[in-house]
Structure 1
Amino acid sequence: MYRTLFFIIGLIILTFGVSLTIKADLGAGAWDALNVGLSTEIGLTIGSWVIIVGLFLMLMNAYLLRTKPEYLALLTIMIVGALIDFWMLVILKNFHLETLLLQIIVLVVGMVTVGLGAAIYLQPKYPLIPIDQFMLALKYRLKVNLMIAKTVAEIIALILALLVKGPIGIGTLIITFCMGPCIQVFYPYFEKWLNKLIKEA
């Protein structure tokens, strides 16, 4: 019960943070920029592209790891896609930022929110979002450390985002380099909290 609660709450917070970084309009994270670019250039909602790209990555991960696709991850990306559309099309639909200062504040708040959400959603060890699994698959296939694998994955997403004219900017660089440390700040706290709840249950 607690694991499922952490998973759902984490994804709700994470997707709200992602939506804020997109709305800040200073450059989204590489994968988010790819989804926004695809939505703008081809059509469909951003959340729909989260699901489509996630499905493609799920199959790619299975190929790289020489395993069967992790079908439960499909549930994760469907939840993420639906939540991003909810935040973007319902809650933040008329959310406009008039000044650069407000854009910067919303970008930072969004990034911290993503870090918080990720730190919570990762605790139950449920199927990862395919983007996170892709990083681990690259680590395995290229026989490199996690930091290099993450960098390679981000560069691939960045190139694809540029090809579809996704929102790449200074915010993209800030998110790329600050997201890891941001997650790490929150992760130990929620790890202890979940373990405590499980022991007391």
Structure 2
Amino acid sequence: MKYVFYVLGIFILTLGISFTIQSGLGTSPFDALLVGLSINAGLTVGSWEVIIALILICCHSFLKRRRPEVLGLLTAFITGIGIDMWLFLLHFFVTPELWYSKAVCFGIGLVVIGLGTATYLHTNFAPIQLTD
């Protein structure tokens, strides 16, 4: 059951990320990097999510002289798919043009990001290991 909540949490998180991107008012620093790469270098935001995560995980693995964190790659892959899926769907249904509709879209995104993050982290399925 925790695997279902893990994936559900990531999809909720990516819905929130997609709302903030769609609002045009800004995103988190990492998502801004992904959007910038998507605009300037091609590929989708989700594709860049997977590519950058792969690079970072491999660099971490090399520096720590360990095997790469497979669960981190799984999280990045699911996140990339989720972002692309939601951006594709929201493009047809959510196109805020006025400042207040952009602000509402951004606010919804922030709340949904919080709910998604809490849901997937609560499963403790793919914990981020910061220390040895």
TM-score (norm. length: structure 2): 0.90
Aligned amino acid, residue 102 of structure 2: Q
The Cα of 1:62 is off from its aligned counterpart by 2.4
The Cα of 1:123 is off from its aligned counterpart by 1.5
Is 1:92 the equivalent of 2:73? Answer: no
Q: Which stretches in structure 1 are left out of the alignment for 5+ residues?
A: 142-201
Residue 116 to residue 65, structure 1, CA distance change in 2 (3 Å):
farther
**1 CA distance for matches of 2:63 and 2:106?**
33
Computing the radius of gyration over CA atoms, which structure comes out larger, 1 or 2? 1
Aligned amino acid, residue 48 of structure 2: W
Q: Which has the higher contact order (CA 8 A, sep 6+)?
A: 2
Q: How does 1:1-201 map to 2 (within 5 A)?
A: 2-89=1-88, 91-94=89-92, 95-128=94-127, 133=128, 137=130, 140=131
CA contact under 8 A between 2:15 and 2:109: conserved in structure 1? yes
CA contact under 8 A between 1:22 and 1:28: conserved in structure 2? yes
What fraction of aligned residue pairs are identical, expressed as a percent? 38
Match of 1:189 in 2: none
How many residues are aligned here?
131
SS in 1 for 2:122: coil
The Cα RMSD (Å) is 1.7
Aligned amino acid, residue 34 of structure 1: L
**1 CA distance for matches of 2:66 and 2:123?**
22
CA distances 1:24-61 after superposition (whole Å, capped 9, x unpaired): 11111101000010011110011100100111111233
TM-score (norm. length: structure 1): 0.61
**1 CA distance for matches of 2:98 and 2:115?**
26
CA contact under 8 A between 1:16 and 1:113: conserved in structure 2? yes
Aligned amino acid, residue 86 of structure 1: M
Q: Which stretches in structure 2 are left out of the alignment for 5+ residues?
A: none
